[in-house]
């Protein structure tokens, strides 16, 4: 009754073989499936669960909010508190609008960028994923790449996306400023926005090369194009203020999701006051949502962000470093590579760490599938695709961190001798 048995394609095991476990419950950093198997969870609902499952404070906040009513379609006080929390953390955001999914956040941010600039074209980067709306299903990562049948390298990335819509989306390789400059020069005064994941997670973890984000900022300023950071994955994960704090580059618009809702359906987009005040009802740019700023999700998001202090980010960094210390040498020994930024990491079945999508496409996907299955046998639940990042939680105990590192190192060996 459910196409492929899943309500989002990335949950299927089509790329790695077998059927996904049906999850019965989560406890801390583990999930337990319907057959009673326990796994250390490195998917974390694809990013939101930085505090693990059913964190006490998050659960309490959500239950209190739900007991007062699930949704009003009218403003509530906690929305102001969450907006204050976001604005105080994210360097480039003066004002923020809440919505329900990352897809909505990028869709609305791009509409705003087009409205403000009066331009139609947008540039996205190969292998980045910004949600499942038409304009962004062009050379996209994540599930589009995983199930691509070659579509990952063509445009549009899905049947049903009109060619005329896809033609408004220009693409350049990740980490290639010259290619972006070339597009901006060729389409002078026509490019509304450049949207990217400042650290890519949707083609596996791919870090920005030194100086690249700064160069994109300069190029956007020079050509009057708005720089949009899609921090749905990196926001509140890589630093208190996201990748823009970590790398010291300020975008014009920022998209947020995942961690901001603490595992509940919540996302956001924000930016400078001048831009955000163009949204209805202050301005003419229409954007709306029945469940936007849902009180239960807002309470959960707030209870999540309030636990993410400097100590939490220091702990995430040290957990990531410990996993890397074991896995990176093992990967190198076996002709693979480990990419890690903070609490996001990917083991690539390719000797050199990828810097762009074309590099990731060279990975040995059959070996990844064997690695994934061996890890699952060891009790570690990874994202079931080479084109995804694994996520570490701040709540992992020292023993769990050691188990993850050792189990993945064993799974690597099993994948390569198979
Ligand atoms: N942008 C990025 C960077 C993402 O990783 C995702 C989801 N993985 C999205 C947008 C879309 O978010 P959602 O699935 O909540 O629509």
pLDDT-derived band at 151, boundaries 50, 70, 90: low
Among residues 39, 41, 55, 230, the one annotated as catalytic is: 230
pTM over 0.85: yes
Are residues 159 and 105 both part of a single domain?
yes
Q: Is the pLDDT of residue 143 over 90?
A: no
The tens digit of pLDDT for each residue in 290-302 reads: 999 999 999 999 9
Rounded distance from Cα 399 to ligand 1 centre (Å): 31
Residues 6+ apart with CB under 8 A from 255: 102, 105, 106, 109, 130, 228, 229, 230, 231, 232, 235, 267, 268, 269
Q: Which of 86, 130, 129 is nearest to 108 (CA)?
A: 130
- Per the structure, the complete domain to which residue 178 belongs is given by 56-305
Ligand 1 contact via 386 beta carbon (within 6 Å): no
Q: For residue 338, give the 3-state DSSP assignment.
A: strand
Confidence of residue 418 (pLDDT cuts 50, 70, 90): low
103, 189: one domain = yes
Quote the ligand 1 centre to 332 CA distance (angstroms): 31
Residue among 192, 269, 273, 276 nearest 232 (CA): 269
More confident site: 188 or 319: 319
Regarding whether 338 and 207 lie in a shared domain, the answer is: no
Q: In angstroms, what is the span from residue 267 Cα to ligand 1's centroid?
A: 9
pLDDT tens track for 4-45: 999 999 999 999 999 999 999 999 999 999 999 999 999 999
Cβ atoms < 10 Å from Cβ of 159: 7
258, 313, 359, 395: the active-site residue: 258
In this structure, are 171 and 243 located in the same domain?
yes
Could you tell me if 150 and 172 lie in one domain? yes
pLDDT for the residue 156: 80
Same domain, 13 and 78: no
Count: domains in the chain: 2
pLDDT band of 153, cuts 50, 70, 90: low
Q: H or E element: which one contains 161?
A: none
Q: Which protein residue has the closest C-alpha to ligand 1 atom 10?
A: 130
Q: Which of 99, 103, 291, 389 to mutate to test the pocket of ligand 1 (most atoms within 8 A of CB)?
A: 103
CA distance 307 to 60: 14
The whole-number pLDDT of residue 243 equals: 98
Residue pLDDT, tens place only, 86-118: 999 999 999 999 999 999 999 999 999 999 999
Judgement on whether residues 226 and 241 belong to the same structural domain of the protein: yes
Would residue 230 show up in a list of annotated catalytic residues for this protein? yes
């Amino acid at each position: 009754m459910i196409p492929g048995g899943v309500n989002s394609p990335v949950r299927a095991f089509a790329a790695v073989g077998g059927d996904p476990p049906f999850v019965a419950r989560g406890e801390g950093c583990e999930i337990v499936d319907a057959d009673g198997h326990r796994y250390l969870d490195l998917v974390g609902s694809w990013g939101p669960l930085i505090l693990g499952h059913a964190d006490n404070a998050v659960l309490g906040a959500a239950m209190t909010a739900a007991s007062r009513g699930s949704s009003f379609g009218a403003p509530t006080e906690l929305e102001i508190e969450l907006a204050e929390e976001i604005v105080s953390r994210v360097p480039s955001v003066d004002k923020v609008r809440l919505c329900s999914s990352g897809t909505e956040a990028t869709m609305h941010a791009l509409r705003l960028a087009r409205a403000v600039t009066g331009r139609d074209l947008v540039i996205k980067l190969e292998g980045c994923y910004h949600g499942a709306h038409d304009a962004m299903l062009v050379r996209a990562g994540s599930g589009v790449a995983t199930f691509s049948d070659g579509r990952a390298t063509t445009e549009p990335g899905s049947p049903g996306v009109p060619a005329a819509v896809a033609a408004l989306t220009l693409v350049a390789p990740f980490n290639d400023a010259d290619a972006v400059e070339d597009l901006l020069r060729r389409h002078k005064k026509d490019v509304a926005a450049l949207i990217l994941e400042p650290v890519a997670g949707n083609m596996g973890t791919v870090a920005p090369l030194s100086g690249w984000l700064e160069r994109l900022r300069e190029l956007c300023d020079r050509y009057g194009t708005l720089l949009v950071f899609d921090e749905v994955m990196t926001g509140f994960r890589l630093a208190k203020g996201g990748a823009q704090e970590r790398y010291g580059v300020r975008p014009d618009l920022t998209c947020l999701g995942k961690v901001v809702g603490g595992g509940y359906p919540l996302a956001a987009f924000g930016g400078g006051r001048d831009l955000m005040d163009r949204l209805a009802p202050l301005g003419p740019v229409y954007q709306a949502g029945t469940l936007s700023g849902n009180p239960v999700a807002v309470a959960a998001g707030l209870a999540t962000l309030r636990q993410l202090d400097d100590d939490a980010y220091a702990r995430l960094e040290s957990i990531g470093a410990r996993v890397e210390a074991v896995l990176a040498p093992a990967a190198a020994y076996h002709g693979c590579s480990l990419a890690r930024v903070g609490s996001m990491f990917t083991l690539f079945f390719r000797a050199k760490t990828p810097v762009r999508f074309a590099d990731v496409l060279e990975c040995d996907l059959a070996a990844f599938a064997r690695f994934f299955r061996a890890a699952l046998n060891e009790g570690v639940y990874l994202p079931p695709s080479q084109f995804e990042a694994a996520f570490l939680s701040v709540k992992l105990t020292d023993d769990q961190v050691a188990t993850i590192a050792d189990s993945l190192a064993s799974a690597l060996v099993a994948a390569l001798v198979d």
